[in-house]
């Protein structure tokens, strides 16, 4: 276990429910080739969310990174299936299915943190642009060698993500560490103010908690070449996703 907010048994059950949801939604998509774009996108996007929650829950439960990496590969295949559907009506999808900031940063960071073939990660990042772009994400992806285009000048959720941008725009490692520490300190409280859906889920009677992890901070530490030990005991920092890579 990488945190103690919920028991292993709780996370076992949650992940089993994720697996059930993934199968149910896969069956719907496979058996409904003539369904509307609205239905297909609703099912495919829900399935994508099931995969995201499963990966975070596996990390929270304490699963070894190699096992999580296998599920991440499944997530990539699922993401590309989602993109295939999205391209059938780009206008509708862009209007209704852009990733929220927390989800954008989560899966952007995974492209940097998980061990996947470089060309496959580049392909993923190219398709991720379809669902959203942010300046800190673009800078990290550029430093990781995953994009070669100019970064967008866009910073959503400024109160939450400005310290992350400051860390990425300075060359001074001491200032980088200070900025990332500040980012981690403010990350959860500022996301709460932004009414992010999963905030305080460990208190919910609906048993929807899957973990609180600032993957984008770990991605920044990796691309900046900082020592992850500096942040090892900092809340929300997924230390071993950086230390083992």
Give the range of the structural domain holding residue 92, as residue numbers without chain letter.
Answer: 1-97
61 domain-assigned: yes
pLDDT at 244: 63
Q: What is the mean pLDDT of the chain?
A: 94
pLDDT tens for residues 65-80?
A: 999 999 999 999 999 9
Nearest 5°: CA angle at 19, between 14 and 23? 145
**Token pair for 135:** 């300046």
User: Residue 169 corresponds to which tokens in the numbers above?
Assistant: 């725009």
Q: What is the mean pLDDT of residues 233-242?
A: 97
Is residue 68 situated within a structural domain? yes
Count structural domains, the chain.
Answer: 1
Report yes or no on 205 lying in a domain: no
CA-to-CA distance for 30 and 147, rounded, in angstroms? 33
């Amino acid at each position: 276990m990488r945190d103690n907010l919920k028991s292993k048994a709780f996370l076992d059950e949650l992940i089993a429910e994720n697996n059930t949801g993934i199968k149910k939604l896969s069956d719907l998509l496979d058996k409904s080739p003539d369904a509307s774009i609205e239905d297909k996108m609703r099912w495919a996007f829900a399935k994508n969310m099931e995969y995201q929650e499963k990966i975070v829950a596996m990390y929270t439960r304490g699963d070894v990174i190699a096992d999580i990496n296998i599920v991440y590969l499944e997530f990539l295949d699922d993401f590309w299936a989602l993109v295939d559907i999205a391209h059938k009506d780009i206008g509708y999808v862009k209007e209704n299915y852009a990733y929220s900031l927390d989800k954008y940063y989560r899966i952007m960071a995974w492209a940097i943190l998980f061990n996947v073939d470089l060309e496959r990660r580049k392909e993923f990042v190219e398709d991720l642009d379809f669902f959203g772009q942010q300046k800190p994400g673009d800078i990290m992806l550029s430093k990781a060698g995953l994009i070669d285009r100019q970064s967008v000048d866009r910073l959503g959720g400024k109160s939450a993500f400005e310290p992350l941008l400051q860390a990425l725009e300075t060359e001074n490692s001491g200032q980088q560490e200070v900025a990332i520490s500040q980012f981690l300190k403010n990350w959860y409280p500022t996301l709460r103010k932004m009414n992010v859906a999963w905030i305080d889920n460990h208190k919910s009677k609906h048993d929807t908690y899957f973990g609180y992890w600032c993957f984008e901070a770990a991605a920044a530490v990796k691309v900046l070449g900082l020592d992850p030990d500096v942040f090892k005991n900092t809340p929300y920092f997924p230390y071993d996703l950086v230390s083992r890579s």
